[in-house]
């Protein structure tokens, strides 16, 4: 019989409670039927990837409740994903402390911009951020794209903008990122895995 990790802990928890109470002379029948539910049983489980380093360990993140409108979603437990091929359930100390990072009041959760010459960062919307990135990328590429070199050879290169990709992405995202970057002619292209 295949027993999942969660079932294993439930069975162990129930067995331990039952034998301890029986040793004290109580009937365990009623008590066992009301055994306390595993604390993650009604949480929402979400798979993700640790954001810290290029190892890209897999995570299981547990958040409150069933996403009802009057309930505020909050992640309250994070652990290594035992099914993830990179870390097989383990996390280093940084990854093990991710809960504080996720719930930190200092965490940046929206885009900001600091205009040239300005001292302050200004909050902008995601639409404004994407528009701004697209406009700046196009303007720089229009001004600096080189189709042919001095010898007349086709080079199709754009060297004034660089791109840093995330190593925590999936293979598919990495493939598409590479295609987009090279299609634009970007030469300066690196990955978080080497940082």
To ligand SF4, the closest distance from the beta carbon of 144 in angstroms equals 36
To ligand SF4, the closest distance from the beta carbon of 48 in angstroms equals 11
Phi/psi at 143 (nearest 5 deg)?
-85, -25
Measured from the CB atom, is 44 or 48 closer to ligand SF4? 48
What is the rounded radius of gyration, in angstroms, for the C-alpha atoms of the chain?
A: 26
Measured from the CB atom, is 20 or 54 closer to ligand SF4? 54
To ligand SF4, the closest distance from the beta carbon of 95 in angstroms equals 2
DSSP 100-142: HHHT-TT---S-EE--TT-SS-EE--HHHHHHHHHHHHHHHHH
Alpha carbon distance 45, 82 (integer Å) = 13
Measured from the CB atom, is 78 or 186 closer to ligand SF4? 78
Instruction: Give the position of tokens 């079932």.
Output: 7
| 94 SS3 class | helix
Exposed (0-12), middle (13-18) or buried (19+): which is 175, by Cβ within 10 Å? exposed
Alpha carbon distance 159, 177 (integer Å) = 17
Measured from the CB atom, is 80 or 186 closer to ligand SF4? 80
Measured from the CB atom, is 46 or 156 closer to ligand SF4? 46
Measured from the CB atom, is 53 or 155 closer to ligand SF4? 53
Which residues of the chain form contacts with ligand SF4 (CB under 6 A)? 50, 52-53, 55-57, 87, 91-92, 94-95
| 17 SS3 class | helix
To ligand SF4, the closest distance from the beta carbon of 98 in angstroms equals 7
To ligand SF4, the closest distance from the beta carbon of 52 in angstroms equals 3
**Residues sharing a CB contact under 8 Å with residue 119, sequence separation 6 or more, in sequence order:** none
Closest-approach residue to ligand SF4 (CB): 95
To ligand SF4, the closest distance from the beta carbon of 164 in angstroms equals 17
């Amino acid at each position: 019989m295949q027993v999942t990790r969660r079932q294993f802990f439930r069975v162990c928890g129930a067995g331990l409670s039952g034998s301890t109470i029986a040793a004290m002379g109580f009937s365990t029948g009623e008590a066992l039927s009301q055994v306390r539910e595993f604390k993650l049983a009604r949480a929402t489980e979400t798979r993700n990837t640790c954001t810290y380093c290029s190892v890209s360990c897999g995570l299981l993140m547990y958040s409150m409740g069933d996403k009802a409108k009057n309930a505020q979603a909050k992640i309250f437990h994070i652990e290594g994903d035992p099914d993830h091929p990179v870390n097989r359930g383990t996390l280093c100390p940084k990854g093990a402390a991710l809960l504080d990072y996720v719930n930190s009041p200092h965490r940046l959760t929206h885009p900001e911009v600091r205009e040239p010459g300005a001292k302050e960062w200004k909050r902008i919307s995601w639409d404004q951020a994407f528009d701004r990135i697209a406009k700046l990328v196009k303007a720089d590429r229009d001004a600096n794209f080189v189709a042919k070199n001095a010898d007349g050879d086709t080079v199709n290169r754009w060297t004034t903008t660089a791109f840093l990709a995330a190593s925590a992405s999936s293979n598919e995202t990495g493939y598409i990122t590479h295609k987009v970057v090279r299609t634009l002619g970007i030469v300066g292209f690196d990955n978080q895995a080497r940082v």
